[in-house]
Chain A
Amino acid sequence: MKTARTTRITVYGLLLIWCLVSAFPLFWMVSASLKPPSESFAGINAFIPQDPTFANYARVAQLVPMARNFVNSVIVAGVGMAVTVFLCSLAGYAFAKFDFPGKNALFLLLLATMMVPPEAGVVPLFAIMRALGWINNLLALIVPNAATAIGIFYMRQYISSFPSEIMEQARIDGAGDFRIYWQIVLPVITPALAAWASLAFIARWNDFFWPLLFLRSKEMYTLMVSISVLPVSEGLSTPWPVIMAGTTIAVAPLVVIYLVLQSFQREGLALGAVKG
């Protein structure tokens, strides 16, 4: 397909503006993290540090058990992501490609659960976690979100847009439902798996509310919790540049993960290739 020069210029121009607007606050965050507390960083002329320093990073490392919290975050986000992507795509496949009694009712129930704000039921949820022995345990953050309504909903919508013929062919060849999912459906939906994996990983990594509720020692805290409780003291004795250093450390792995997961996003070939 030939593309007109003007189209290309317009597309690149729009994307450039989009990139600037998107990256600018993050750039500001990194720049602020390199400034000594004595340097102003609020004004328009304060984006570039005059006297860059890594002292703020050293300070965060003193305040927060960084390595340990990092490992916790990796476990919660990594394991959580893998389990979620598997269970959500499996259930999404079931809802998209099979007829079974109660299917619509169950699916509407699933949608309805998305409408309930979980914050209201914190006290019994805590009692349940306690009964399971999961207070101050990373399982409390991984298991409840192992299969989410929103993830299943997304996978169902995504998978339903694929024609069922390829599955039928495999079924005639004698493949079972799970094998069809594993060998035929999964490869076709890699863009969706990659997208959902990124979103699931980031959501778990950045979550602050539930870890703060269920985790009870700083060794068990995730990185985001440790960083987020820094600026709360009266008088804010943790200077902002130190906090910005903390958030920079916390965000950097996300950017890496996102870059890696993009290798699975191949454009435009998915269905065409299968059909062909």
Chain B
Amino acid sequence: MTFALLLTSILAFSACTASVTPAPAGEEDAADAGTTGAYPPGTMTVYGYGQPQYWQQFFENYLNDHPDVAPGVSVEMVQTENEADARQKVQLSFTAGAYDELPDATASAPVSMKALADGGVLLDVTDYVEQFKDRFVPGALDQLYYKDRIYCLPKDLRPQLLFYNQEIFDQYGIDPAGMETIEGYIETGRQLKEASDGEVYLSYIDPGAFTWRYWGRRGLMPQANARIWDENGEVVIDTDPGAKLAMDTLATLNEEELLYKSAIFQPPLYDAAREGKVATFYIGAFWDEFLRKNLPDMEGKWRVMPAPIFQDLGLGGAPVVGLECLINKPDPVYADLYKTIWEAYQFDADARQTWTEQMVAEDAPYSNPISVEMLQDDFWKEPTPYYGGQSFREAEANGLNNVSQNLIVTDKDAEADTIISAEIESYVAGNQTMDEALANMGEQLRERIGTAPVD
């Protein structure tokens, strides 16, 4: 009896709270609220992944330096597991109508951003972001658009970079400049293998999902101008010449045994790098942190250069965008405060440098600014001891000089990644040829997804 009553009341209650539709706060309303400069005391909550506690430090710095902007407001960064977990938390609260539990902002990435924007969870910030368009490095906004609107603020834009162990190249008298092209990169791998009697591998290959992520989606595919979907959302990965070029390149590296087979982010790979078995790390600026944190004993040995390019295509790596999305709550009281602090992060050179120096002191992660003006400062060209005096910051900035377009991201791409990756894993495990892998990718994508709506 009590049980039945309890159950009914709970159901009724949850139905009530779930059926209240949010009054989507228009951008204009939010802007009006912001101009008064008054924010209610409370906590601004932000979901992040990776290491959001360092991002929080910038917010705290700002609030300390500007005590009149938002007195009584504190910031909390909640660490979530990853992009999918952050999305899961946000959409659970949103679907349950739990607007008071929603964060004010969340970190995200293109696939989740599109799904959340479609569901009406994110604030439209098109006009706000576009006013800064000319002050950002070219391409900074490219991955932000969804159905011609912008739903997230760009936090950073990191290029694809190749990290190499200078000591190995010196030892065997090989010039790393040969790795400017992918053809040269493969050739360098062959030379290293021969000179070292098979001891030194050009790079690594992961047996799991990271191979598609780093070698494929972010690496060779965009540089080869490859496509998974055509403009109508039909699967073309198995017929696209770019995809064939990208995957055949990986196959060449793998089948000539130029890649050390070892799981990424695992201690055995660190050890292999330490022992000089892995000459380069392909690809992505994040390797900087990976190397500094996990191989501090190799300081001075590593150098960095832009990702190698296909000779005939000349396209650099496709940059990775970091997104910070404001949540469409009925009353987004801190949306403007978030924007103000974000503006300081992007354009207030002093604030950014102070924070960056804190990060350096704590050996914490940070990335280059995306504002053209800020990048002019010599601060962003300072030498980095870990790279033997080469400036990592400058190299990161240079990495954006020649970029390729990222693969089109549809809201089916998280699923597509699992399908494509399974076929590549099967190839890496030696169970099928790369041609078979490509054919199976096409077949499985059509079977399981069909067409993907390209916005």
Contact = CB atoms under 8 A, between A and B. Distances in A.
A94 to B, nearest CB: 17
B43 to A, nearest CB: 9
Nearest to B365: A237
A136 B101 contact: yes
A132 B7 CA distance: 11
Contacts of A217: 45, 76, 78
Given A63-B53, A217-B78, A132 B10 contact: yes
Given A123-B95, A212-B85, A233 B267 contact: no
B268 interface: yes
Interface stretch (B22-30, B112-120, B294-302, B331-339): B294-302
A265 interface: no
Most chain B beta-carbon neighbours within 10 Å: one of A37, A124, A136, A238? A37
Contacts of A240: 267, 294
A40 B270 contact: yes
Nearest to B287: A235
B267 A42 contact: yes
Contacts, number: 107
A234 to B, nearest CB: 5
Interface in A13-51: 36-38, 40-43
Interface in A220-275: 226, 228-229, 231-240
B290 A237 contact: yes
A232 B50 contact: yes
A171 interface: no
B286 interface: yes
B96 A229 contact: no
Most buried by B among A124, A216, A218, A238: A216
Contacts of B401: none
A129 B297 CA distance: 49
Contacts of A115: none
Contacts of A131: 10, 13-14, 17
Contact of A130 (B81, B96, B288): B96
Contacts of A36: 296
A233 B14 contact: no
A235 B14 CA distance: 41
Interface in A199-214: 212-213
Contacts of A236: 265, 290, 293-294
A126 interface: yes
Given A42-B267, A217-B76, 6 more contacts: A37-B294, A126-B96, A216-B101, A233-B49, A233-B365, A236-B294
25 contacts: A37-B294, A37-B295, A38-B296, A41-B267, A42-B271, A43-B271, A124-B14, A127-B96, A130-B98, A130-B101, A131-B13, A213-B89, A216-B45, A216-B78, A218-B79, A226-B79, A229-B81, A232-B50, A232-B81, A233-B51, A235-B265, A237-B51, A237-B289, A237-B290, A239-B293
Interface of A: 36-38, 40-43, 63, 122-124, 126-128, 130-132, 135-136, 212-213, 216-218, 226, 228-229, 231-240
